[in-house]
Amino acid sequence: MAMRFKEMGIPPQEFVELCYPLWARIYVELAHETPGISWSDAEIERVFLSLTGFNMFRMQFASEHEQRQALAMAHEAERGLYHADERHELDGDAAIDFAYGWMAATTLVVSSVRIEDRDLAAQKCAMAHPDSGREMFLRGFAARLEI
């Protein structure tokens, strides 16, 4: 038996609209590096997915609990890009790398892992990040842990 929208929680179109603030921030940052990028470019979707861990077009049909968790991640990623742009004055790839670090630290904070050596934790998380963006990743990681 198919699930009805009422049983699913947030209506699909509304869920997608709630993800737009992050989508828009990603679009703006990528536009610094790729002039002429379109609103529906696959690169925006790829960055969105890698920052949040979910595809918003598939998640719109998930349970309300899953949707709420996903929206919390989207909000946190948007917050990371906000900090990169407004507080650290970063644009383009640097802002995105900062947001990756922010989200890596968020995962540790949310999981209640006790971080005794923040620098070591940051370095371990940054190992998977490309060398070109590692400095901004580490700045994002440190900024999130300070909150």
Q: 54 or 138, which is more confident?
A: 54
Query: Would residue 2 count as lying in a domain?
Result: no
Query: Would residue 1 count as lying in a domain?
Result: no
- Burial readout 51-82 (b: 16 or more C-beta within 10 A, e: otherwise): bbebebeebbebeeeebeebbebbebbbbbbb
Query: Would residue 4 count as lying in a domain?
Result: no
For 112, the domain range is 10-145
Q: 9 or 24, which is more confident?
A: 24
Query: Would residue 5 count as lying in a domain?
Result: no
Query: Would residue 136 count as lying in a domain?
Result: yes
Query: Would residue 130 count as lying in a domain?
Result: yes
Determine which of 4-8, 34-38, 45-49, 136-140 has the lowest per-residue pLDDT on average: 4-8
Query: Would residue 27 count as lying in a domain?
Result: yes
Q: Give the C-alpha separation, 17 to 138, whole Å.
A: 31
Total of domains in the chain: 1
Query: Would residue 3 count as lying in a domain?
Result: no
Instruction: Give the tens place of pLDDT for each residue, 10-33.
Output: 899 999 999 999 999 999 999 999
Whole-structure pTM value: 0.79
Instruction: Give the tens place of pLDDT for each residue, 96-116.
Output: 999 988 888 887 665 555 555
